[in-house]
Amino acid sequence: MNKKFVVNIGRQLGSGGKEIGEKLAARLGIDFYDKELITLASKESGLCREFFEKADERASQGIIGGLFGMRFPFVGDGALPTQNCLSNDALFKVQSDVIRQLASEKSCLFVGRCADYILREHPRCANIFISASHEARVARLCAMHHISEEEAENMMSKADKKRSEYYNYYSYKTWGAAATYHLCIDSSVLGIEKTIDFVEEFVRLKIK
């Protein structure tokens, strides 16, 4: 696998998708990007990191007096807003440019942020969606955050709603639907480590 390739991972909260992505990237010897994209987008644009954190995986809405009626107001001219107006669409455009730039330079793995759609024309990519059973997700979140089952279920509900709205809005596809990805896998069936084994083998076969 000496040619550049990308792996894009979508995930349900509590499915272990980030852990799977991190360990898979390490096994494949490629760079891993999740929250790091927020920092990179901030540096690239010169905009405050807080803007990107507020917009992170959220469908379009104005952050500071944003009054845009279009989905992608800056895609054509490549410009950033010069007035005190920022929309999630503008920030999505900046982050998309960062993702495309990274993918053009090297092999890497992206978690979330519509990377599979942004890189849909990349010649060597594998798009994966990680889910898990309701019980496994609740148990994982309770253990990670030391919260009650009710709190975990609330976290899951909010995260699934936010991620699906974001993905469906920007990609025109359906978050978590099998037809959207090359592979969908339930991490609670095999466990995290064996899921990584399975996904690694799939990726190697997909991009060879």
Q: Is residue 14 part of a domain?
A: yes
pLDDT in tens, the chain (208 residues): 558 999 999 999 999 999 999 999 999 999 999 877 777 777 766 666 676 666 665 666 544 333 333 343 333 334 444 333 457 787 788 889 989 999 999 999 999 989 999 999 999 999 999 999 999 999 999 999 999 999 999 999 999 999 999 999 999 899 999 999 999 999 999 999 999 999 999 999 999 8
CATH of the domain at 181: 3.40.50.300
Residue 112 near residue 34 (C-beta atoms within 8 A): yes
Both tokens of 4, joined, read 């550049």
Residue 48 zone, left/alpha/beta (φ > 0; ψ -120 to 50; rest): beta
Q: Is residue 201 part of a domain?
A: yes
How far is 75 from 94, CA to CA, in rounded Å?
9
Q: Looking at residue 36, what is its pLDDT?
A: 76
Q: Is residue 69 part of a domain?
A: no
Count of domains forming the chain: 1
What is the domain extent for residue 13? 6-58+86-207
Q: Is residue 65 part of a domain?
A: no
Q: Looking at residue 61, what is its pLDDT?
A: 53
